[in-house]
Amino acid sequence: MTFILGLTGSIGMGKSTTAEMFADEGLPVWDADATVHRLYQPGQPAALAVGALFPTAIDPDGSVNRAALRTLIQADPAVLDSLNAAVHPLVAEDRAQFLLAHASAPIVLLDVPLLYESRIDTACDAVAVVTVPPEVQRDRVLSRGAMTEAEFQTILARQLPDAEKRARATYIIPTTSLEAARRAVKDVLASIRRTQHA
């Protein structure tokens, strides 16, 4: 029986780096963001769905322009609800295919930013939450230069607060340093393997 570990954490908490550490330990990883990115490519189902809903968010090559989409969401939060209603089922289908393809793996990782918000935690055997103090999170996000303070606040408002995620987590992974994160990843896997062999 495959053990499904969910990985989540708010923006700027180091989730992608931590997911790579799990992959380095041999786990098959399903990445929700990468899946959306792939489905937003020309001719892909999500790109076609977004094109039907928001034609101004489509580039000439048929791919989704994420910056244009962000602008629409900033102007009208209801846009995000329509977008999620169109894209989430496509992403869920991709996730189901991944789980099917890795049905013989002892442990798989679902890397999902909105794991709790989209209730995917109910499909997981355990959840690991990555975390850093709020000031570190803010510095990380804004130092990337890809997002304004207002956009950062909009995303934060849509996400479950970090304290609540930590309260609901099976495991907490501090990502203040790569060493701390890597050690926590190994500890999580050791803990899961102990329960599997109990």
Instruction: Verify that 94 and 55 share a domain, yes or no.
Output: yes
Instruction: Verify that 83 and 37 share a domain, yes or no.
Output: yes
26 CB-near residues (< 8 Å, 6+ apart) = none
Tell me the C-alpha to C-alpha distance, in Å, between residue 145 and each of 18, 134, 142, 151.
Answer: 21, 18, 6, 11
Note the pLDDT of residue 198: 73
Note the pLDDT of residue 24: 98
Instruction: Verify that 114 and 198 share a domain, yes or no.
Output: yes
Note the pLDDT of residue 155: 85
Instruction: Verify that 78 and 4 share a domain, yes or no.
Output: no
Per-residue pLDDT of the chain (198 residues; tens, 9 = 90+): 899 999 999 999 999 999 999 999 999 999 999 999 999 999 999 999 999 999 999 999 999 999 999 899 889 989 989 998 999 999 999 999 999 999 999 999 999 999 998 899 999 999 999 999 999 999 999 998 878 898 898 888 888 999 999 999 999 999 999 999 999 999 999 999 999 887
The last residue of one of the domains, among 101, 124, 143, is 101
Instruction: Verify that 136 and 45 share a domain, yes or no.
Output: no
CATH of the domain at 157: 3.40.50.300
Note the pLDDT of residue 7: 98
Total domains in the chain come to 2
What is the per-residue DSSP string for 56-125?
GGB-TTS-B-HHHHHHHHHH-THHHHHHHHHHHHHHHHHHHHHHHHTTT-SEEEEE-TTTTTTTGGGG-S
The last residue of one of the domains, among 101, 116, 150, is 101
**Which residue segment(s) compose the domain that 6 sits in?**
1-28+106-198
Instruction: Verify that 138 and 167 share a domain, yes or no.
Output: yes
Instruction: Verify that 56 and 149 share a domain, yes or no.
Output: no
